[in-house]
Amino acid sequence: MNKWILVLWPSFLMAGIAEIIFFTVVDPQTLYFFGQPVNFSAMATYTIGFFALWLVCIASSLATLFFERSREQINGHS
């Protein structure tokens, strides 16, 4: 459980900050997805954007936990 807290909490905070920065610069009504305009409400676009950014930040935090393992943990030695 502690490892999940180490992953989810910092990724949640960073996704919030990234969303604030991204949507300060980009208007959600002017976004295009695969060449087609995004026809969602602004709130739906903010929500989808937040969860997408949260997934990216989760992947980053998981990679950090993966690479911080010791040699013994990687090789299976106690």
> Could you give the CA distance from residue 67 to residue 65 in angstroms, rounded to a whole number?
6
Query: Is the per-residue pLDDT at 78 higher than 80?
Result: no
Tell me the per-residue pLDDT of 1-37, one tens digit each, with 9 for 90 and over.
788 898 999 999 999 999 999 999 999 989 998 999 9
Smallest Cα–Cα separation from 63: which of 2, 1, 6? 6
Residues 43-66 have a mean pLDDT of 94
Residue 46: closest CA among 64, 33, 28:
28
Q: What is the pTM of this model?
A: 0.82
The dihedral of CA 12, 74, 68, 2: what is its sign?
positive
Report the length, in residues, of the chain.
Answer: 78
- pLDDT band, residue 75 (cuts 50/70/90): confident
